[in-house]
Amino acid sequence: RKIYNQILDSKSKNQKLLAILLDPDKLDLGSMDALISKINQSPATHIFVGGSSFEGLHLDDIIQRLKEKTELPIVLFPGNPSQISAEADGILFLMLLSGRNPDYLVEHQINSVPILEKTNLEIISTGYILIESGAETAVERVSQTKPLSKTNIDYIAQTAKAGELIGNKIIYLEAGSGAQNAVPLEIIKKVSERISIPLIVGGGIRSKKQIEKAYNAGADLVVIGTAFENDINFFD
């Protein structure tokens, strides 16, 4: 429980965390070293690896390369059970609390058990909540679920709290990768006040100022995918 204990420890000290999300679909081994050195120079505390459509072909190789070149914990953020690699350090074991598709609530989790049992991955139960963000996102398309309306803040907070009571160890508020609009600050604030477990926020965050605002609103860990993918100098 090393990764989770570190997150809890940071939360208790109000030290904010930052994950860079790498989509294995968009990585090739040839050009990875430059990327990893940029990550090592950045304020990132974690590397998340995952994507909604990836089929897992070179995942082990990619993660092995990351492990050779960085000390940061590598956490899987899988779109489906084929995105599990024993080479990583941990996995966000996601439950799509905002949706009503049983596959993403429990079926994929059941199917992944035989794979997970062959690994030493630290498994972190995560309540994953998709928030309306403008246009349809890949998460919506792939999971075939609707995001929660951003106007119903109390229901969103109630959903997050249910995740905590069910036993989720982390809540992840997601606008979707490349989202038009990030999760509104008011939602981050209300959810963080309602739950006592760590809060991850991601999707559509494009500036350092936005990262800072998400932290101030109550995010414990912010995820940056697209902004770093489009510009590896983002954190300079």
- Binding-site residues for Mg(2+) sit at 23, 52
* Pairing assessment for the beta strands 122-130 and 170-174 based on DSSP bridges: parallel
Q: Residue 203: what are its φ and ψ, rounded to 5°?
A: 100, 115
What mask, x for binding ligand 1GP by CB under 6 A, covers residues 133 to 172?
Answer: ----------------------------------------
Among 39, 44, 225, 235, binds ligand 1GP (CB under 6 A): 225
Residue with tokens 């062959």: 118
DSSP tag of 104: I
Q: Is 205 in the site for ligand 1GP (CB under 6 A)?
A: yes
Yes or no: say if 182 and 203 are a contact pair by the CB < 8 Å rule: yes
Q: Which C-beta is closer to ligand 1GP: that of 83 or that of 226?
A: 226
Among 20, 21, 97, 191, binds ligand 1GP (CB under 6 A): 21
Q: Is 173 in the site for ligand 1GP (CB under 6 A)?
A: no
Min. distance of Cβ 61 from ligand 1GP in angstroms? 22
Tokens at residue 196, please? 């006592």
Rg of the chain (C-alpha set): 16
**Which residues contact residue 45 at a Cβ distance below 8 angstroms, ignoring those fewer than 6 apart?**
10, 17, 18, 19, 72, 221
Among 11, 70, 178, 210, binds ligand 1GP (CB under 6 A): 178
Q: Which C-beta is closer to ligand 1GP: that of 179 or that of 219?
A: 179
Min. distance of Cβ 6 from ligand 1GP in angstroms? 20
Min. distance of Cβ 214 from ligand 1GP in angstroms? 11
Q: Is 202 in the site for ligand 1GP (CB under 6 A)?
A: yes
Q: Is 99 in the site for ligand 1GP (CB under 6 A)?
A: no
Of the candidates 232, 176, 192, 162, the one whose C-alpha atom is nearest the C-alpha of residue 11 is 192
Q: Is 80 in the site for ligand 1GP (CB under 6 A)?
A: no
Residue count of the chain = 236
- For residues 20 and 36, give the distance between their C-alpha atoms in angstroms, rounded to a whole number: 11
Question: Residue 182 is inside which H or E element, if any?
Answer: none
Chain residues that interact with ligand 1GP, rule: CB under 6 A: 21, 174, 177-179, 202-205, 223-227
